[in-house]
Structure 1
Amino acid sequence: MKLIKLEQPSCTPCQLVSNYLKEKGIEFEAIDVTVRPEVAAEYGVMGVPVTILLDGEGKEVKRSSGFKPNELDELIFKIENYK
């Protein structure tokens, strides 16, 4: 499983999500949508932050929009129980 986070550098909620995931010891790939808008388009993302959990084949399993600790915890639970 892989966790990606679509973000913008100046976005405060984006920074909150990053800090939250780092505090939990979760690895993720941060993708700046201002540099890579094609990734936002690929996942149908209209606003950031969006955190997406992908399976081993790169298919979306679950996503969280904004800074919602409960939703992020659900993603973390899925990652931890996948191992």
Structure 2
Amino acid sequence: MYRLLKLYQPSCRPCQMVSQFLESHNVEHEAINVLENPDVAVKYGIMSTPVTILLDDEGNEIQRSIGFKPDEIQKMISKLQ
């Protein structure tokens, strides 16, 4: 079973676009504000936002998308189903 993380900043326009995309596709995901959770940003090596990460059931990273790239995010969504 895979899970999806969205790492974002509230004032980031591309982050808002990723959120809208995931909501429009009814995708269950964990949203993490990197400003409130800098330890998580460090853990995943986040240098800019948004970052969408697909994890396996053991928490290993399977795929990563940086920025708003609908095609890449859609490929991750297809692995969730």
TM-score strictly above 0.5: yes
Q: TM-score, normalised by structure 2?
A: 0.95
Query: CA deviation digits over 1:42-72, x for unaligned, max 9?
Result: 0111000000011001111101110000001
Q: Which runs of 5+ in 1 are unaligned?
A: none
Structure 2 Cα separation of the partners of residues 65 and 49 of structure 1: 6
Please report how far the alpha carbon of residue 77 of structure 1 lies from its aligned counterpart in structure 2 after TM superposition: 1.1
Q: How does 1:1-83 map to 2 (within 5 A)?
A: 1-80=2-81
Residue correspondences, number: 80
Q: TM-score, normalised by structure 1?
A: 0.93
User: Any runs of at least 4 consecutive aligned residues in structure 1 with deviations exceeding 4 A, and if so which?
Assistant: none
RMSD: 0.6
Q: Which runs of 5+ in 2 are unaligned?
A: none
Structure 2 Cα separation of the partners of residues 6 and 27 of structure 1: 14
Q: Using the aligned pairs only, state the percent identity.
A: 54
